Structures are given as C-alpha cells and as structure tokens.
A = this chain, B = another copy of it.
Amino acid sequence: MLKKERHAFIIKQINLHNKVLSADLAIALNVSEDTIRRDLVELDESRQIVKVHGGALAKSFHYPFQHNDVYALEAKKTIARKAISLIKSGMMVLTGGGSTVLEMVQALPLDLAVTIFTISPLVVLQLADHPLVTVILIGGEFSKDSQVCVGSQVVSYLNEIKFDMCFLGTNGISVNDGVTDSDLNVVHLKKAMIHASEQLVIMCIAEKLNSVQRMNVCQLNQVSYLITDLAPADDVLADYRKKGVQLY
C-alpha cells in the first residue's frame, strides 16, 4: 500500500469518527506504529489533522475540552439545537466562547442571516464558512485560560452597543446563587455582556446544574432562557421552574 493511500485512509477514518488511535491504524493498515506515527506527523504538518498523544483528531474538532467526553458532547449538541431555535433572521446576537456555544454556532443553519458579535476567536473561525452570517470579533487581550478576549477594551466596547440576545455557557448555576463563575475577568466580561443584551440565554449541561462557583455573574431573574439537555419538564429543573425561569 502506498503512503498516500494510507494517508487517505487515515483522513477518511478521521472524517468518519473524528478521531483515530495509532494502534488501531497500525493493525488496520498492517504497518508498524512508527510508520503510522510518521504519517500522522506529516498530515499534521500539512494541517489536515491534529495529532495528539496516542492518535489524531479531526481539525474541526480540536477545541479545548472537547476530546474529553463524548457524552457531554451529545448533551451540548442537544442544547445547541434548542438554542438555535431561539435565533431569528436579522438578529444581533452576542456570544461567549464556551464549548456549548461552539456547538451552537457550528450547527447554525446555512439559511440563517444574523450578525454575531463574539469575544471568541474559535467562534469566529467556526463561522468563517457561513455564507449569511456577519461575524464581528470584539477584540482585547486574549485569556489563555478561558480562550476568549477579556479586559477593559471589551467591556467598554460592550457598553456602546445593544444586542438582541446573548448566549452564554456557564460553569455554575444554582437556584439560590444564580449564575456563577470562578474567573474574575470572565465574571466582569459576562456582566457587561448581559448588561448589553435584551435577552440572556444560559446554556448548561445537566451535570453542572446546582453547582456554585466562587463569584456571582447574575441572578436567575436576569436569565431569559435556561437551556439544558433535559426536557423542560424534568424533575431536576423543578426548582428553577418555581423561580420563574423560562426553561427550554
């Protein structure tokens, strides 16, 4: 088998499964793992895949956090689907940069014409091929922890525009403490984003419900919609429903 055929096979597998393991490929292609490793290095260097310890990932799936758990990924895709149904053509939308948001923008229908403001370079690149979406990146210092632009530049920019809808993921949400986070910069940012938007959509996987982080972002009554991977009628959400949060 020619090298290029191996490469093609590897890419096909990655497109199909979003990831490959070197050991599997070595068996499948009947060559040594060293050869596979060298193939992966080459494909990585030519920017066709992303090599990681043990194998490789599809380029479009190389987001932080994402290679961790497939279960959470499914949950996030569910949330993304629901979130998208809130977006109407012509809206000015503001987004954060979490993995749930990324799922959402990735799944945006191709016929949706909106203007998306974001603080996340990843969101921008995800939307780079969308024909109808106008993407505006809100610049500032890039935070390596949260993978978004933070700082006073961003906050003062946000003070000058009003958005229709703001989509945020969150690390913590609970009935008593509302939306919470652990990074001071991010908290400042999110407050400004919420303040700049008519409606606030919080997206949160069920796993993170009822968890509390150190710092408060906003109370539940400021949340227009809470989207989880659960059915709105799910018992787990009973307390939120009682508080009057719009579930989805």
Contacts and interface: CB of A to CB of B under 8 A. Distances in A.
Nearest to A68: B47
A63 B142 contact: no
A5 B21 CA distance: 12
Contacts of A138: 139
A73 B53 contact: no
A140 B129 contact: no
Majority-rule SS of A interface residues? mixed
A73 B45 contact: yes
A192 interface: no
A45 B106 CA distance: 11
Taking residues whose C-beta sits less than 8 angstroms from the other chain, chain A's interface range is 35 or more
Contact of A136 (B57, B70, B128, B140): B140
B69 A48 contact: yes
18 contacts: A2-B54, A3-B54, A4-B50, A4-B57, A12-B64, A45-B73, A46-B70, A46-B73, A48-B63, A48-B66, A48-B69, A122-B125, A127-B142, A134-B141, A135-B141, A136-B142, A137-B141, A137-B142
Q: Top 8 nearest A-B pairs by Cβ distance?
A: A139-B139, A121-B121, A135-B142, A137-B139, A48-B65, A121-B124, A4-B52, A138-B139
